[in-house]
């Protein structure tokens, strides 16, 4: 098992997702001799999991059954331990496409947070890309790095514990894309720009508040970014239902000729398959601001290099 | 410490699988090897000055003395061997990572520029852009290209860098526009406070239609025409600053005849198709496509089945996400696979090796085990003419392709299934889901909701899938300007519906009320044999 490669069978040390039904899931770490309690009873890792195929039905001690699923970044997003607010799959999907991520992309991200987006990025850029992720909270950075190793994607990611607004991403001129999810993204735009390849790339900033978006857009325009565009994306879930609609009885439309004539009985109804919206849904997550860094033209670029040299000397 | 004048240059030769170091003065062009950058950025990202990949070579400029790298390279050499055999090298990786050296000032130094891969070549598939309008074209010399009611030749784009903006000048030739600072047309800021004195009498513009045409014929550039329009507008000065800005933007859009040449990507092509020809892609909106790729967990190294009638956009998007690793099987209806859109992505040739195709009319035969891919063509013997020979060769190729795809499908262990078509999604999904391994995601797009409701219901009855979700995506664009931030006035009313889920095993000791689909098609089998003969 790895978050960037499927495997058929469950092995010791794997992360597996226990599907309990009705969108209820829990992540577990498979260990020889370990046990996991579920509402359907105990799962014994050695007997019930190790060597089994992902996707199989496992019968728990109380007789109930669950499915064991192969982890994917999407399942992980739904199951990960929250250390911060996290990004959900709807936003992640759009970020991935709009940043033009693909195998081989080099990506800078800040902050790492709980690693929800990081896992999705890693999945997409593997096996030849690299993620440089910056988190200013030491404990969170350490936890994330540990998680990446456990999920066998450690070789694709560098976690740095620093403040992106002050110290940047720790790399220069290597990134195809930069993602910012920090309280004041406008302070990191300069660093984002210098982290990116000189032939340009894409940048995205996620902010819950419109005031943040305004400042970010101003900073992006000021730094010469192009195609600045802000969007909001929501997922609408349609719950499939079978509903029964009673039919009204208006009585016979003409006098009945014979008393045996068939007419709709007053308790008649129609069964239909339809969908209903959930009673409540996520109405706002954040605004996504995207922009393109144009290629640096030679003249500007040389100036930049000379400036760098002077600074270094 | 190190001498900046002579930093180390690392290079990687994929033919001899050799890594080596030299000094800065003599960068050596070596064979394509993208892994080096990746390996180094893991072990000592701080030391990378710059990394470059071209089709022919990989160069990495690093900070540090040569002896350090000599040791490192020895280890990398071993590592690289391990690396190609999947990720068994994680132990070595973590050891190397722990050897991280202290952070040093990172400088970018890249004076001799190699942009050969960044330049437009003849035959490249590119995307033309003006404002929000995109068009995918192939660069062909002396070929008239029509874009936004304007025609021109793309000859001059050859050799220029991707991302260059061109001005269309007389005779339809392109002229690269020099990067210059944005000029503000109205430098002397003179603006009204509100619109109480502005009348809509159609008399504010002194230039007539004919005057503007004359200006155009005189060869005035878009920018100059806009300037003329402003000077000849009696009300421009009375407009508020915001209104002036809007006026300029509007006129610029109308009169500017610049065009940008871009490298194609899934983002650009999805937006282009949605804007230009939504009918061709079953009205699949770009954000919905984004959901599909993510919900389908499309990634390098997996085996993905794609069934689409979206001109190849979905197939291309999947292939882009796979990056040429793993395999994609296009399940196609009718006579042959439609994939014009895949070409527009401009993939390197080796991507085609990962693309397979399988006609859906053979699906039942394959499932029943009656698909005979070894059989020689029946009428092979009676066509001695050269035309017949040619046909025979083609038939043979087709058969080989079919056999290759059949092998991929036979194991019923595909890692993903993506459906986006104008067909009823229900039979498509129920037919193709059988090829998926357990615990793998699938995603079905339909422009309409009701067929997906049916899909959902059938799948629930049949079993074999969990986490079923019927969703649609809502997207709203924003205008963000100082003191004028609000949602854009028009928005898309809908981008289609998705049904997504994860497969699970159906073979279970527990009693199942429904017979499993695997045993079912006994009756169909007979029919299928007739078809294949």
Question: In this model, does residue B506 exceed pLDDT 80?
Answer: yes
Structure tokens at B364: 């039942």
For residue A237, the chain B residue with the least C-alpha distance is: B471
Mean predicted confidence (pLDDT) in B113-123: 77
Q: Please, what is the angle between helix B266-276 and helix B313-322, to 10°? A: 170
Q: Is B471 in contact with A149 (Cβ distance < 8 A)?
A: no
Do residue B273 and residue B318 come from a single domain? yes
Choose the final residue of a domain: B98, B115, B132: B115
pLDDT reported for residue B373: 74
Q: Kindly state whether residue B343 falls inside one of the protein's structural domains.
A: yes
Pairwise CA distance, residues B167 & B202, whole Å? 31
Do residue B299 and residue B417 come from a single domain? yes
Bridging pattern class, strands B8-13 and A287-293: unpaired
Among the ranges given (A165-169, B137-141, B179-183), the one the predictor scored with the smallest mean pLDDT: B179-183
Question: In this model, does residue B288 exceed pLDDT 90?
Answer: yes
Choose the final residue of a domain: B55, B81, B115: B115
Q: Which residue has the higher pLDDT, B17 or B290?
A: B290
- Confidence band, pLDDT 50/70/90 cuts, at residue B194: confident
CA separation, residue B458 to residues A36, A43, B448 (Å)? 33, 31, 17
pLDDT reported for residue B192: 79
pLDDT reported for residue B98: 43
- Among A54, A158, A170, beta carbon nearest to B42: A158
Q: Kindly state whether residue B314 falls inside one of the protein's structural domains.
A: yes
The parent domain of residue B160 ranges over 119-263
What domains appear along chain A, each with residue ranges and CATH number?
15-71 (3.10.330.20), 75-234+284-312 (3.40.50.150)
- Confidence band, pLDDT 50/70/90 cuts, at residue B532: very low
Question: Measuring CA to CA, which residue among A15, A133, A25 is closest to residue A79?
Answer: A25
Question: Measuring CA to CA, which residue among B141, B426, B441 is closest to residue B302?
Answer: B441
Instruction: Answer whether B454 touches A (CB < 8 Å).
Output: yes
Q: Kindly state whether residue B303 falls inside one of the protein's structural domains.
A: yes
pLDDT reported for residue B218: 73
Among the ranges given (A122-126, B266-270, B515-519), the one the predictor scored with the smallest mean pLDDT: B515-519
Do residue B510 and residue B447 come from a single domain? yes
Do residue B223 and residue B295 come from a single domain? no
Quick: pLDDT tens for A181-224: 999 999 999 999 999 998 899 999 999 999 999 999 999 999 99
Q: What is the dihedral of CA A6, B326, B94, A196, to 10 degrees?
A: -120
| CATH number reported for the structural domain that contains residue B159 in this entry | 3.10.330.20
pLDDT reported for residue B115: 65
Q: Kindly state whether residue B456 falls inside one of the protein's structural domains.
A: yes
Pairwise CA distance, residues B239 & B186, whole Å? 12
pLDDT reported for residue B256: 76
B248 three-class SS: helix
Segment holding B503, helix H or strand E: strand B497-503
Pairwise CA distance, residues B78 & B312, whole Å? 41
Do residue B417 and residue B524 come from a single domain? yes
B421 three-class SS: coil
Do residue B284 and residue B243 come from a single domain? no
- Confidence band, pLDDT 50/70/90 cuts, at residue B234: confident
The answer to whether the CB of B225 falls within 8 A of the CB of B216 is: yes
pLDDT reported for residue B521: 38
Q: Kindly state whether residue B368 falls inside one of the protein's structural domains.
A: yes
Do residue B154 and residue B271 come from a single domain? no
Residues of B in Cβ contact (< 8 Å) with A92: 294
Q: How far is A133 from chain B (nearest CA, A)?
A: 12
pLDDT reported for residue B257: 80
Do residue B497 and residue B354 come from a single domain? yes
Residue A72, Ramachandran bin (φ over 0: left; ψ between -120 and 50: alpha; else beta): beta
Bridging pattern class, strands B48-53 and B58-62: antiparallel
- Among A106, A124, A297, beta carbon nearest to B299: A124
In sequence order, which ranges of B218-302 are alpha helices (DSSP H)?
A: 222-231, 241-255, 266-276, 286-295
Pairwise CA distance, residues A82 & A106, whole Å? 26
Pairwise CA distance, residues B90 & B99, whole Å? 14
Choose the final residue of a domain: B64, B86, B115: B115
Do residue B97 and residue B131 come from a single domain? no
Strands (E), B227-386: 258-262, 303-308, 327-332, 355-359
The sign of the torsion formed by the CA atoms of A174, A176, A181, A186 equals positive
Quick: pLDDT tens for B50-91: 665 555 455 566 655 555 555 555 555 555 544 443 333 344
Instruction: Answer whether B376 touches A (CB < 8 Å).
Output: no
Q: Is B323 in contact with A128 (Cβ distance < 8 A)?
A: yes
Segment holding A106, helix H or strand E: strand A106-110
Structure tokens at B215: 């200006």
Q: Kindly state whether residue B104 falls inside one of the protein's structural domains.
A: yes
Do residue B123 and residue B195 come from a single domain? yes
Q: What is chain B's alpha carbon radius of gyration, rounded to the nearest angstrom?
A: 30
The answer to whether the CB of A117 falls within 8 A of the CB of A95 is: yes
Mean predicted confidence (pLDDT) in B30-34: 41
- A/B interface, count of CB pairs below 8 Å: 253
Q: Kindly state whether residue B507 falls inside one of the protein's structural domains.
A: yes
Q: Which residue has the higher pLDDT, B507 or A311?
A: B507
Do residue B110 and residue B203 come from a single domain? no
Structure tokens at B287: 């954000």
Quick: pLDDT tens for A148-164: 999 999 999 999 999 99
CA separation, residue A124 to residues A52, B294, B444, B467 (Å)? 27, 9, 20, 22
Place of tokens 């104008």: B422
pLDDT reported for residue B149: 83
Instruction: List A36's β-bridge partners, or say none.
Output: A43
Mean predicted confidence (pLDDT) in A257-275: 75
Q: Is A33 annotated as a binding residue?
A: no
Best B3, B163, B480 residue to mutate vs chain A (most A CBs within 10 Å): B480
Domain count, chain B: 3
Do residue B128 and residue B231 come from a single domain? yes
Quick: pLDDT tens for B390-449: 888 888 888 888 999 999 999 999 999 999 999 999 999 999 999 999 999 999 999 999
Q: What is the dihedral of CA A182, A186, A191, A196, to 10 degrees?
A: 90
Pairwise CA distance, residues B229 & B207, whole Å? 7
| CATH number reported for the structural domain that contains residue B304 in this entry | 3.40.50.150
Question: In this model, does residue B511 exceed pLDDT 50?
Answer: no
Q: Which residue has the higher pLDDT, B316 or B248?
A: B316
ipTM attached to this prediction: 0.92
The answer to whether the CB of B470 falls within 8 A of the CB of A237 is: yes
Q: Is A275 in contact with B457 (Cβ distance < 8 A)?
A: no
Q: How far is A33 from chain B (nearest CA, A)?
A: 24
> For residue B350, what is the DSSP state?
G
Q: Kindly state whether residue B3 falls inside one of the protein's structural domains.
A: no
Q: Is B438 in contact with A56 (Cβ distance < 8 A)?
A: yes
Residues of B in Cβ contact (< 8 Å) with A238: 449, 470-472, 497
Mean predicted confidence (pLDDT) in B515-533: 38
CA separation, residue B38 to residues A105, B15, B52, B492 (Å)? 10, 18, 11, 40
B159 three-class SS: coil
Quick: pLDDT tens for B446-463: 999 999 999 999 999 999
Segment holding B498, helix H or strand E: strand B497-503
Q: Is A127 in contact with B325 (Cβ distance < 8 A)?
A: yes
Q: Which residue has the higher pLDDT, A38 or B178?
A: A38
Among the ranges given (A44-48, B332-336, B368-372), the one the predictor scored with the smallest mean pLDDT: B368-372
């Amino acid at each position: 098992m790895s978050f960037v490669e499927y495997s058929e069978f469950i092995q010791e040390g794997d992360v597996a997702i226990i599907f309990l039904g009705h969108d209820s899931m829990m992540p577990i770490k498979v260990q020889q001799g370990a046990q996991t309690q579920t509402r359907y009873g105990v799962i014994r890792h050695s007997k019930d999991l190790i060597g089994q195929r992902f996707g199989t039905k496992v019968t728990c001690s109380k007789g109930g059954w669950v499915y064991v699923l192969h982890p994917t970044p999407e399942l992980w997003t739904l199951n990960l331990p929250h250390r911060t607010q996290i990004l959900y799959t709807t936003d992640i999907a759009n970020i991935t496409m709009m940043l033009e991520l693909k195998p081989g992309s080099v990506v800078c991200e800040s902050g790492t947070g709980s690693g929800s987006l990081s896992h999705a990025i890693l999945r997409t850029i593997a096996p030849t890309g690299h993620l440089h992720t910056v988190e200013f909270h030491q404990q969170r950075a350490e936890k994330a790095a540990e998680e990446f190793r456990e999920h066998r994607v450690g070789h694709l990611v560098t976690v740095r514990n620093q403040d992106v607004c002050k110290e940047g991403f720790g790399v220069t001129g290597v990134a195809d894309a930069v993602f910012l999810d920090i309280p004041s993204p406008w302070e990191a735009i300069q660093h984002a720009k210098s982290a990116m390849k000189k032939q340009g790339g894409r940048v995205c900033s996620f902010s819950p508040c419109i005031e943040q978006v305004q400042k970010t857009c101003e900073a992006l325009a000021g730094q010469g970014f192009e195609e600045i565009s802000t969007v909001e994306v929501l997922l609408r879930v349609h719950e499939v239902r079978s509903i029964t609609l009673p039919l009204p009885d208006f009585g016979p439309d003409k006098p009945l000729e014979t008393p045996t004539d068939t007419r709709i009985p007053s308790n008649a109804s129609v069964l239909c398959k339809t969908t209903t919206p959930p009673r409540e849904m996520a109405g706002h997550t954040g605004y996504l601001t995207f922009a393109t860094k144009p290629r640096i033209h030679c003249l500007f670029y040389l100036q930049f290099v000379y400036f760098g040299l002077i600074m270094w000397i | 410490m190190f001498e900046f004048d002579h930093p180390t240059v690392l290079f990687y030769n994929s033919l001899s699988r050799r890594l080596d170091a030299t000094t800065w003065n003599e960068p050596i062009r070596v064979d394509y090897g993208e892994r080096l950058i990746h390996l180094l950025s893991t072990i000592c990202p701080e030391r990378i000055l710059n990394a470059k990949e071209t089709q022919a070579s990989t160069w990495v400029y690093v900070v540090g003395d040569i002896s350090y790298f000599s040791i490192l390279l020895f280890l990398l050499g071993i590592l690289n061997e391990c690396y190609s055999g999947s990720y068994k090298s994680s132990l070595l990786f973590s050891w190397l990572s722990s050897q991280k050296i202290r952070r040093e000032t990172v400088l970018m130094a890249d004076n001799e520029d190699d942009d050969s891969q960044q330049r437009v070549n003849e035959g490249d598939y590119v995307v033309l852009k003006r404002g929000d309008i995109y068009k995918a074209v192939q660069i062909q010399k002396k070929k008239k290209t029509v874009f936004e009611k304007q025609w021109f030749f793309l000859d001059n784009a050859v050799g220029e860098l991707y991302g260059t903006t061109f001005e269309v000048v007389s005779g339809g030739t392109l002229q690269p526009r020099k990067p210059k600072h944005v000029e503000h047309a109205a430098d002397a800021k003179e603006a009204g406070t509100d619109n109480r004195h502005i009348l809509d009498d159609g008399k504010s513009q002194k230039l007539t239609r004919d005057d503007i045409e004359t200006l155009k014929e005189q060869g005035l550039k878009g920018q100059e025409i806009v300037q003329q329009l402003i000077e000849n507008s009696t009300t421009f000065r009375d407009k508020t600053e915001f209104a002036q800005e809007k006026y300029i933007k509007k006129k610029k859009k109308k009169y500017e005849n610049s065009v940008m040449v871009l490298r194609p990507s899934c983002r650009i092509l999805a937006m282009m198709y949605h804007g230009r020809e939504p009918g061709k892609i079953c009205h699949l909106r770009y954000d919905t496509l984004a959901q599909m790729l993510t919900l389908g967990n499309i990634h390098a190294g997996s085996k993905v089945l794609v069934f689409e009638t979206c001109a190849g956009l979905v197939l291309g998007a999947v292939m882009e996400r796979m990056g040429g690793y793993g395999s994609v099987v296009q399940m196609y209806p009718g006579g042959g696979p439609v994939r014009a859109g895949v070409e527009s992505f401009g993939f390197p040739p080796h991507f085609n090796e990962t693309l397979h195709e399988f006609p859906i009319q053979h699906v039942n035969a394959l499932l029943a085990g009656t698909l005979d891919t070894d059989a020689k063509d029946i009428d092979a013997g009676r066509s001695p003419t050269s035309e017949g020979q040619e046909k025979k060769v083609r038939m043979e190729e087709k058969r080989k392709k079919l056999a290759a795809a059949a092998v991929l499908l036979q194991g019923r262990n595909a890692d993903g299934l993506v459906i986006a078509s104008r067909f009823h999604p229900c039979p498509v999904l129920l037919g193709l889901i059988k090829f998926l391994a357990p615990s793998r995601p699938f995603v079905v797009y339909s422009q309409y909701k009701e067929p997906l409701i049916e899909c959902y219901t059938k799948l629930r009855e049949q079993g074999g899938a969990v986490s079923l979700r019927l969703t649609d995506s809502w997207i709203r664009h924003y205008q963000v300007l100082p003191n004028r931030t609000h949602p854009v006035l028009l928005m898309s009313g809908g981008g289609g519906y998705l049904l997504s889920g994860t497969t699970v095993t159906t073979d279970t000791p527990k009693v199942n009320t429904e017979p499993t689909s695997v045993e079912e098609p006994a009756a169909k089998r007979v029919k299928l044999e007739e078809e294949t003969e």
